[in-house]
A and B are shown apart, each in its own frame.
Chain A
Amino acid sequence: MNGRKILAIALVLVLVAALLAGCSGNKGQQQGQNQQGQQQESKEKLKIGLVFDVGGRGDLSFNDSAYAGLERAAKEFADKIEVDYREPSAGGQDREQLLRLLAENGFDLIFGVGFLFTEHIQKVSQEFPDVKFALIDGAIDGLDENSNVACLLFKEHEGSFLVGAAAALKSKTGKIGFVGGMKSPLIERFEVGYMAGAKYINPNIEIYSDYIGTTGDAFKDPVKGKELALNQFKKGADVVYHASGASGVGVIEAAAAEKKFAIGVDSDQSLSASEAQRPYILTSMLKRVDVAVYETIKSLVEGNFKGGYKVFGLTEDGVGYAENDYNKELIADIKPKLEEIKEKIIKGEIKVPVDKNEYNEFLKNNFK
């Protein structure tokens, strides 16, 4: 009986230890106990914190792009800043606590990666007026230059317009597809931009469009991503664009299996794909979250951080399409056309729609 008790206690200890280890899945950060010491230190170096979106670092897409910006800043301003990042729990319920934790620990600038942070940053930024916050992809109403929150927004529809044109130029069947993650106004921007770009090239093109789900989980469901993409390929599509975070792994896998094309999103996904998948990635819609993160940190280091809204579009090189060693030849024949369209968008000759209403108008104006 005694032996059993000891075994039971030992097991409980192992469980607790494993849980604790799992919860604080961050690398070597001093916490609570030496908070004060840290705060004194921070007088010398600016402390930059970042909290990731669903999917976390390693999604080969959105979050990794943000991390790349953080890393670049950390390298370039190594003597002026120190950086740290947090991953929310699997369901993302602790977003707000993580923001608050960083704010309490004396961080000077805190990034929330993703529109799901909108409410939380709005709340926490009011509790900590001396801390600067940057919200990626989300807009909080009523900010100005003096606010402690900067909203970093992207014209995803412009970048998507370009890859939509690329898809239409490359499609042999006249059918292309789109797989979105969570059904939301943000992801719909990708969708309508893509559809408009494709229709701009080929008014008769047929576009299949599917979404994985209605919650944040839709950004980490590669199983459904693959099934949806497979279905579109089987219906005749030969290029499928995804805007679904880590679920896109499945879309690229489906393209490789069917020997058709996928278009990546946010990061240059040709680089992170496996050797076998690379020939089937036409290009990626780049959303330079890294540029936005880097520029924001730079402005803080140089002492001219401004609150309010910053929009990154084609003009600012905030979005675009990817060209790399793997797809160079693949897109060589369509590149001049894409560059031409890019110029037209920058000059304002093409007005890229941002939602379904504008899309319908776009079709009316262009093809009647």
Chain B
Amino acid sequence: MLVGELLASSLRMAVPILLTALGAVFTERSGVVNIGLEGMMIVGSFWGALGAYYYGPYFGLIIAMAAGMFMALIHAINTVTFRVDQVVSGVAINILAYGSTRFLSLAIFNMATTSPHVSGLPKINIPVLSGIEPLKPLVNDISPVIILALLLVPISSFVIHRTVFGLRLRSVGENPLAADTLGINVFKMKYAGVLLSGIFAGLSGAYLALEHTGMYVEGMTQGQGFIALAAMIFGNWEPKGALWASLLFGFSEALSFRVVEGGVVPYQFIKMIPYVLTLLVLTGVVKKSTGPAASGVPYERGLK
């Protein structure tokens, strides 16, 4: 029973990281580093709550994805078209997200840091499985977005490895010059990768606001966009790897909630569990992770 709860809690904590990490896989595979994912999650959480407040949860999710995509578009224009340093642009996106959400929150809700209450999608029970006792906490009353996120893992994997689009995306990230020579539109592929990451991050932010807490609170993303980047690298630029990495992060968070403060272990150490675990795994388990060869390098025609 309690183990089931622990796993369910891990899953809830893992989903926002997973969604953003999946997006990160797409953008990195196209050769664009996107550290603005945190900012895209922030606008996702705000616009998700805004959309849900006025038009209901489905519209909230859609508008959150659109908002994430809009931020990604700015990043893509900066980095792909104008070849701005990708890290600098990402930082700017994060600052812009903070500033714009606070400004809009004041303008629309007349409150700087929170939105009114919003309701999420109706919770669902998975048929068949929901009857099995040990699985109950995992399959009853869960958010549909959790299922969507899990389904997106094999879908992303399929798209990246088995489709023409995926092949082109990967080739652009590995060797843009060769791809260009073969007639692939490098810029278009890079835009696609970045925009996809914005959509995923926006959805992830909306999950936090709509599905988890039922309200937008400034700073509720708590740096999970950056953790997602780590999960993506840790998962070796693969959707399946990102899934395991996110579950590990989620699990360690959930575990730290459940370690009771005792006399022996100081409180601060309990709160360190997720980070210590990450460090251990990164140094001990992962042997070598190699990203796309041309990731982070702006592509310009005619340069060697």
Contact = CB atoms under 8 A, between A and B. Distances in A.
A253 interface: yes
Interface stretch (B110-118, B193-201, B285-293, B295-303): B110-118
Interface string B117-154: 10100000000000000000000010000000000000
B5 interface: yes
Interface stretch (B158-166, B184-192, B237-245, B254-262): B254-262
Interface in B165-207: none
Given A18-B99, A223-B208, A57 B77 contact: no
Contacts of A368: none
Given A220-B218, A223-B220, A234 B5 contact: yes
Contacts of B9: 227, 230-231
Scoring B2, B100, B117 by chain A CB atoms within 10 A of each residue's CB, the highest score goes to B117
Contact of A90 (B98, B114, B257, B268): B98
A19 B39 CA distance: 13
Contact of A58 (B13, B95, B114): B114
Contacts of B78: 11
Interface stretch (A21-29, A72-80, A302-310): A21-29
Contacts of B12: 227
Interface residues of A, number: 54
A154 interface: no
Contacts of B95: 19
Which size bracket describes the interface of B in this complex? 35 or more
A214 B106 contact: no
A213 B220 contact: no
Given A231-B258, A246-B113, A222 B96 contact: no
Interface stretch (B21-29, B58-66, B209-217): B209-217
A213 B96 CA distance: 26
A220 B216 CA distance: 10
Contact of B114 (A19, A209, A217, A246): A246
Contacts of B220: 220-223
Nearest to A85: B112
Interface string B83-112: 000000000100110111011011001111
A58 B13 CA distance: 25
B275 interface: no
**A8, A58, A231, A276 interface centre (most CB from chain B within 10 Å):** A58
A108 interface: no
Contacts of A21: 99-100, 103
Nearest to A251: B213
Contacts of A323: none
A11 to B, nearest CB: 7
A316 B100 CA distance: 42
B109 A58 contact: yes
A57 B112 contact: yes
Interface string B259-283: 0110000011001000000000000
A88 B218 CA distance: 12
Interface in A221-240: 221-228, 230-231, 234-235
Interface in A35-73: 52, 55-60
Contacts of A271: none
A210 interface: yes
A5 B114 CA distance: 38
A360 interface: no
Contact of B267 (A4, A23, A183): A183
A71 B67 CA distance: 35
A226 B212 contact: yes
A55 B105 CA distance: 13
B215 A222 contact: yes
Contacts of A4: 81-82
A87 interface: yes
B112 A58 contact: yes
Contacts of A57: 111-113
Contacts of A22: 96, 98-100, 102-103
A11 B77 contact: yes
A15 interface: yes
Contacts of A222: 212-213, 215, 217, 220
A112 interface: no
A211 interface: yes
11 contacts: A18-B96, A19-B96, A22-B102, A55-B114, A55-B218, A214-B267, A226-B212, A227-B9, A246-B217, A249-B217, A257-B141
Given A19-B96, A58-B111, A277-B117, 11 more contacts: A15-B96, A21-B99, A55-B113, A58-B109, A59-B113, A183-B268, A210-B257, A220-B220, A223-B213, A247-B217, A274-B119
The 8 A-B residue pairs with the shortest CB-CB distance in the complex, in nearest-first order = A22-B99, A58-B111, A274-B117, A56-B113, A222-B213, A56-B112, A58-B114, A87-B112
Interface of A: 4, 7-8, 11, 15, 18-19, 21-23, 25-27, 52, 55-60, 87, 89-90, 183, 208-211, 213-214, 217, 220-228, 230-231, 234-235, 246-247, 249-250, 253, 257, 273-274, 276-277
Interface of B: 2, 5, 9, 12-13, 74, 77-78, 81-82, 92, 95-96, 98-100, 102-103, 105-106, 109-114, 117, 119, 141, 208, 212-215, 217-220, 222, 253-254, 257-258, 260-261, 267-268, 271
